[in-house]
Structure 1
Amino acid sequence: MSQENRHDRNLILPTLIVSISSIDPPGLIIGMSLIEVATSFGVSVGLAGQIRSIGSVLAIAVALAMGVLSVRYSYKSLLLAGLLVNLVSVLCCGYAPTFSLLLVCFSTVGLVTSLVTPMVFSYIGETYTAERRPQVVGTVAAVRTVSYLLMVQLIGYVVAGWGWRQAFLFLVAPLTAMGLLLSQRVLPGIRSEAKACGADILEGYKGVFASRSALACLLGNLLAGGAWAGGVVAYSVTYLREDFALPLPEASRIFSLLVVCVLVGNYLGGLLARQLGGKGVMVSSSLLTGLLIMGYMNSPSLALTVGLSATMSITAGVVLTCANTLLLVQVPRFRGTVTSLNSAATQLGLALGASLGGFILDASGWGVMGLVYGVMHIAAALIYLAGVMDREEPDISYSS
């Protein structure tokens, strides 16, 4: 191998990290600037908040289509397409003259998520050995979390000083352009094993749906993601403000602690999965996360809530790393299809978790919400335990 090729190989992981980190800030900008966006276009804050839900619907549809596209096209082509769409989208968001056009432009964020995320993890599955994958997945998750924390601070600064449009133009556009250029220069043109073997483009779905382990992994990730990201993460700041009458800055600081502890969990998850095996660590961590969620949203004191928040976030970070690691050993011949279906399952979980939480909050309150989310995470742990394999399954041929 030439020195140049070795250098490019060393840049694969940083390139994947930059690429996947560029898809998070658009949603963060809208979430932090809802009032400013609503004021700019003369609409209600509630209507402005619907921008993100439309993106989730599109993400599910595109993720399902990606199961076919990942067999037909190379991972690099799909990743570059996602980054290019992201770049065009953020530029259009920054210059959108009407709310309707902003809605259309931002809705493509769902498409970007379903293009970029599965391909990043498909590259990890194809590029790194099974022994290294837990560490690599943990590294990606940890650095992505650091990037998220940094963006929270930068977006707040830019929005306060120049406005929400400039956050799209000055922060997201350059990061996306960097990911696009690095991906074009560094990443190899890998295709799925199914494409290399001449498999039918629908055979990936047949392979995944015939795998009990893959289906269990997808269902577990749907429930765990719905409870954690769609529930706890989405409602934590509001919960802290309403239940403990905290001002927004103090609630935001506690939420930042939650994010930092997820980062710690991401790192620990990679280490523990490598030493003890991903399945056992994921099952125990998912079970513990469910119990901690119940305690977190039923805590009688702020001090206990903060302590439970930190512990809960660490175990949730461990689950995230282990879940992504185990996903990569499910039906390896159709790895692109598996990761694409997981993206759809995750987006569905986020939508269901957020919708369910809103209904429970209106009907019962925070305590019941915590119990429901906790049960969802415990159910995910039982599904992981009963159905998920922690080793690569043998390839099965499906003739049409």
Structure 2
Amino acid sequence: MAFRSVASRMTAGGLGVRTTVGVASARSSFQPISRCYTTQQPKKSNSNKLVILGLLGLGAAGGYYYNNTGRYSLSTSQVNQKKPVDYHQVYKDIVEILEDNDYDDGSYGPVLLRLAWHASGTYDKDTKTGGSNSASMRFEPEALHGANNGLKVARDLLEPIKAKYPDLSYGDLWTLAGVAAVQELGGPTIPWRPGRVDGVSAESCTPDGRLPDATKKQDHIRDIFYRMGFDDQEIVALTGAHALGRCHPDRSGFDGPWSEQPTVFSNEYFKVISERKWVKKDLANGGWQWVDKNNPTVMMLPAEIAMFNDKEFRKYFDLYAKDQDKYFADFTKAFTKLTELGVPFKGDEKVYKFETIDA
């Protein structure tokens, strides 16, 4: 789930709050969990005729043509032909860069999940704008929206993979990175299919404010998610993604992880929010958050406790705290839906289910 941050609103002239799934100010308090992820040269001839025949033969085999400048060039059809993308290898390449003991709690997984979330969560079902299709976060002003503070880390991390697969769209890469993060950090298998087509200019950027504001209450959260087409159960299921990562004062304005296991995807988030005593803590930036009375390094956002205390939302928090299998099943459906909002699928795309990478 994604929330706008106190820091973003202060810099933009308002009070904006966005959470980050993953950066570390208290890395020393948590131990990163180790995972694996994953001849002879031909004789010269003086015959121009033989040379030309040989070159024409090469052109027929390799897609070359002979133009009136006397040079051999790639044919238009070959230049425009896209090389098929090996998505299984892309997945493996993403997994290779997930672990890093110098970043946060030892994993880039949480921030990659946040990238996929923020790229997708801007969708508006009424105007049919936003979503992961255009990867519009590459452009200003969207790249500078307060909600996207810190996500340059994730975008830059994936650039070498994009360079390796030039025919892979950013939208497909970013959402696949989110899938890899969930799966490799212990979560369910997420079905994924390619088909996103990148925007080419800032015209594809969405207006600021389409992601939830963590300082507000449950009605605001419903407004944001209903705009995308989600119901209450799906909203709570997506919120459980906060099992991964932490907030950062310089990004969201909040500080700390949602549990003591910020690199393990499980239903721990629901257990933590339902079983602990929460007290308010004032922040240096003028905002506040909830913290665990017995372990104040663990926090919850104002909007999350408001959701937890809402009668309709509460029943799903309680359900998922008791039943991880049910949570995984519902999260899988909701996250797949999220990453496909607004994508112009043709209907014949292959659906991939990637195996986690063993040691």
TM-score, normalization: structure 2? 0.28
The higher radius of gyration belongs to 2
Richer in helix (by share):
1
Richer in strand (by share):
2
